Structure 1
Amino acid sequence: MKIHIDEDRCVGGGQCVLAAPEVFDQRDDDGIVVLLQEQPADDLDHQVREAALLCPALAITLEETAP
């Protein structure tokens, strides 16, 4: 899976960081999401999907990649 972030849509809610702290962080100055891993390990799939679902601005999109 590959993660795409639309920083212009991000409202800094932080739900992604709570759901998957190994993959997402926030900038200190404005709270906008920072992607730590564009293609995280398979064992983080559940957390990443949860983060995308919880995002209030729908700023996180997931692209399925071939194995």
Structure 2
Amino acid sequence: MKLSARNVFKGNVKKLVTGMVSTEVTLEIAPDLEITAIISKASAEGLGLAEGKSAYALVKASDVLIAVD
């Protein structure tokens, strides 16, 4: 995977809070260091996100995106 974003943080999904339309995804990227993003429920399902699964937080400008291999 090649990206233009320079700030890419690999972590493990620590918590998912799923609502009617969106899902709040919290990644633990280091011990006691977390980053949280709100993405669409459809995107979370499409990425197959689950607690304990590896994922990436991508930070570009003011946005945080979640990605998986």
Calculate the TM-score normalised by the size of structure 2: 0.24
As a proportion of its length, which structure holds more strand? 2
Question: Which has the bigger relative contact order, CA under 8 A and spacing at least 6?
Answer: 1
Calculate the TM-score normalised by the size of structure 1: 0.24
